Amino acid sequence: MLSALLIAVLAAAFVFEFINGFHDTANAIATTVYTRALPVRAAIFMSAVMNFIGALTSESVAMTIAKGIVSVQLELYVILAALLGAIIWDLFTWWQGIPSSSSHALIGSLIGATIVFSGGIQSILWEGVAWKVIIPLFTSPLIGLVLGYAFMKLVFEIFANWTPKKANGLFHRLQILSSAFMSYSHGNNDAQKTMGIITLALVMSGELSADAGVPFWVKVACAACMALGTSIGGQRIMKTVGNGVTKLDPSIGFVAQVSSGLAIETMTALGAPVSTTQVINTAIMGAGSVRGAKRVRWGMAGSIVKAWFTTLPITIVLGGACSFVISFLV
């Protein structure tokens, strides 16, 4: 029989995954919608299906969350506090249309909740945080930027003699494939964070052995919640991602999605939770800058960068505050 507190943790985790779906789905399909390669409903449906498939594929990132962030035996209320802190930040940034990182919101909130619970920073595996969180936080967007620029240069070389109408027709069709790949990558990386936090809760509550992997029912439930959230969409953020960084055309959309998908898949293979938001935006910047730096709206890019740098510290505070308050209630 599951305890009431564990049930509350599971409910909060599924809510977080649902929010993650509609918060981050814009990142995967915004360029496809704004270049009219697919209508909104078709793009969202396709993204939901591919998110679901991607979420079932691996568990390396989940194990990073479950075993690579904290070294102390946590009470379930601490994990609940971490989820609530991340949910608060995700809802705020969604409402404001800020494409922030759900991944780093969850990790930051878990760090903050653990620090308050343990009374110090010694319970955080800082080496794991550095290698699996902080370094990928900076390197994955740079990879997206470089790949976006390099692939766009290559596309220009290959299709230099094509008419714009012919090239746009080809990339309209290719964007459907690249959007599916991007959605798969998003599910493969992002869904695993919630799988990891649930696995951590099950281990801490004694429902699962410490050396066990992610239970299959957890994978299916998280994949379903993300797909359901994705089916609702995230049009507030879609406006920023889709046309707020640079003027999009089908070739830029295709290149950005392929580049970001490759960057995310690389980090997933390394077990590093990264931000889909960060990677797709920098890939768009890289691809757009091939036509000239003035074609990129660097002011918008700057506001996105600010969100990247504020997410971790703010969610550390939010997670800590939630942990402090809930400790009195339980």
Give residue-wise pLDDT tens across range 73-103: 889 999 999 999 999 998 888 787 676 778 8
User: In this structure, are residues 32 and 89 in contact, taking their beta carbons and an 8 Å threshold?
Assistant: no
Sign of CA dihedral 147, 153, 154, 156: positive
- pLDDT, position 63: 85
pTM of the model: 0.85
Mean pLDDT of the chain: 85
313 confidence band (pLDDT: 50, 70, 90): very high
Over residues 293-309, mean pLDDT = 71
Pick 301 or 40 by higher pLDDT: 40
What's the total number of domains in the chain?
A: 1
Query: Among residues 222, 221, 142, 217, which one has the least CA distance to residue 187?
Result: 222
Number of other CB atoms surrounding residue 317 within 10 Å: 16
Task: Identify the domain containing residue 195 by its residue range.
Answer: 4-329
* Integer Cα distance of 241 and 301 in angstroms: 10
Residue 133 gets which letter from DSSP?
I
